[in-house]
Chain A
Amino acid sequence: MKASVGAEAIATKGWLGAHKYLLLRRVSQLGILALFLIGPLFGVWVLKGNLSSSVLLDTVPMTDPFMLMQSIAAGHIPEITAVLGALIVAVFYFMVGGRFFCSWVCPVNVITDLAHWLRRKLKVRASTKLSRKTRFWVLAMSLVLPVVLGTMAWELINPVSLFHRGVIFGMGLGWIVLVGIFLFDLLLVEHGWCGHVCPLGAFYNLVGRYSPIKVSAYQREKCDKCMDCFTVCTEPHVLKMPLFGENKGYSPMIESADCTNCARCIDVCSQDVFKITTRLPIKAEVKQ
């Protein structure tokens, strides 16, 4: 694993060009937090609530569908506002690519990205082996527990909702959980939380299985195998076949729903191998 990545990309595209999507993502993540925060801080109400459930401009309800599923599993029949809100959110994330949430919205991503950056800088190699399918088991657990217990057990410790809620409503001792995730990612498992454990990521993986917006290695023949994209990618296995599987007949489209559409691979590539594209049939016809 390289300590620094994207040197070639910075040389060809400039620092800004080689960090375009990273900066955009940070603006998106922090901007969404800011929109939630200016309400309680300055009385400017764009977004009320938090990521679990919110209201946009006092009109559009939005509810985390995973949260609502836990509530229903716990035996509650929600009001129509929450159901509508969950539908709006689910459709939105389906359109933009499922785990788009993970890299563009989720605040925990900032922590885990920091952990990975530090991991590279400190050259931490050791990584405990953990299946990337673990998250689906955790997802199943977080939906079974409410059925048994009648309460949303996962939400007692869910770091994603805890972090976002904490920033707006007060963190208390919640930072312990966040430091725990940081250390887990830094010292125990590479990309441990987002890439292996988080059930919300697993949920959006399922939501985005057939999403139209994808990253494609459309110029894979230009790839010089510098492996920078593998180094920065939170789910590097998704790159393998689209990049190198041409003679096995694999499409250059990164089809795996594990991909978070973070587009960091586009940033660090000096050869412009990747781009964001759609897999709508209309596009294919136009090409022909």
Chain B
Amino acid sequence: MTADKTHTPRKTTRRQFITEASRGVCGTGLLGLGLAGYSKQSQSLAAQCLRPPGALTEEDFLAACVRCGLCVEACPYDTLKLGKIFEPVTTGTPYFDANVIPCEMCEDIPCQTACPTGAISPELESINDAKMGLAVLIDRETCLNTQGLRCDICHRVCPLIDEAITLEIERNSRTGHHAMFIPTVHSDKCTGCGKCEHACPLEEAAIKVLPREIAKGELGHHYRWGWIEKDKAGGSLIDEVLDLPDRLPGTK
């Protein structure tokens, strides 16, 4: 009660204060501990859930997003959804499942414009530079093109056709005299819009968009590609090819 200071304010004794404070700390501490555990669990975004274009890294995104849904309402294709409690997406944060509705890659990026906090970073200038995820031809055993057919659907629906997905010719070893046109994703171009996954005609898509941190490998930082280093140096880095003596089996 905040009556005027002059009127007999109720005094809290030290004992009362300590009792009350420790009660508060213990009670909310327990609640907080439970909440912390739950939040740790819910921070791992399910692999089929993708963030809107320009979204910060998952960790920063969870700190920045205020779960207002303005991006969802700005999305003209109903691609984006807000995560609900107990779903494998942090409660209230926007995501999309490419298999349901992929990102149509609007040139004006309305979801980005709508975001009030910068969780969808304003630094993304062109939708073609978006990195929502990375398409991966995850099952070469069922992909129709790997059977020698010319399905090519993922290639043809790709908004960055022949850049993000190319068809690479391989020899069809089953027939011995045909070619296979293998859909091949290039991670520097793929935006992760998910149109390929959405369009894949299989019962379960053979090409899937995954979060980039799942889809991408990372080279050891000390690795160097010899041919690139050779170009950089303008010549071979080794003086001459070492000619070691041949030792064939049975010889001494």
Tell me if chain B binds chain A. yes
Q: Which residue of A lies closest to B64 (CB)?
A: A76
Q: How far is the CA of A55 from the CA of B3 in the complex (A)?
A: 38
Q: How far is the CA of A251 from the CA of B5 in the complex (A)?
A: 12
Taking CB atoms and an 8 Å cut-off, the chain B residues in 2-40 that contact chain A are 2-4, 6-8, 20, 23-25, 27-29, 31-32, 35-36, 38-40
Q: How many A residues face the partner with a CB closer than 8 A? A: 70
Q: How far is the CA of A123 from the CA of B220 in the complex (A)?
A: 70
Chain B, interface size category, equals: 35 or more
- Asked if A238 and B28 make an inter-chain contact with CB atoms under 8 angstroms apart, the answer reads no
With A79-B117, A140-B28, A251-B4 as contacts: A170 and B82 at CB distance below 8 Å: yes
- Asked if B35 and A165 make an inter-chain contact with CB atoms under 8 angstroms apart, the answer reads no
- Asked if A145 and B39 make an inter-chain contact with CB atoms under 8 angstroms apart, the answer reads yes
Is residue B148 contacting chain A, with contact meaning CB distance below 8 A? no
Question: What is the CB-to-nearest-CB distance from A77 to chain B, in angstroms, rounded to a whole number?
Answer: 8
Q: Which one of B3, B84, B117 contacts A255 once the chains associate, using CB atoms below 8 Å?
A: B3
Which residues from chain B contact A71 at a C-beta distance below 8 Å? 63-66, 117
- Asked if B91 and A154 make an inter-chain contact with CB atoms under 8 angstroms apart, the answer reads no
Q: How far is the CA of A166 from the CA of B91 in the complex (A)?
A: 10
- Asked if B73 and A150 make an inter-chain contact with CB atoms under 8 angstroms apart, the answer reads no
Which residues from chain A contact B68 at a C-beta distance below 8 Å? 49-50, 52-54, 63
Q: A170-B81, A245-B7 are in contact. List 18 more A-B contacts (CB 8 A).
A: A53-B66, A53-B70, A54-B68, A63-B66, A63-B117, A76-B64, A82-B118, A134-B28, A137-B24, A145-B36, A151-B39, A151-B90, A153-B36, A156-B90, A170-B84, A171-B84, A238-B1, A241-B1
19 sample A-B contacts, Cβ–Cβ < 8 Å, listed by A number: A49-B68, A52-B68, A61-B116, A74-B62, A76-B60, A76-B63, A76-B118, A78-B64, A82-B66, A131-B20, A133-B20, A134-B28, A148-B36, A149-B39, A152-B62, A173-B86, A174-B84, A174-B85, A250-B4
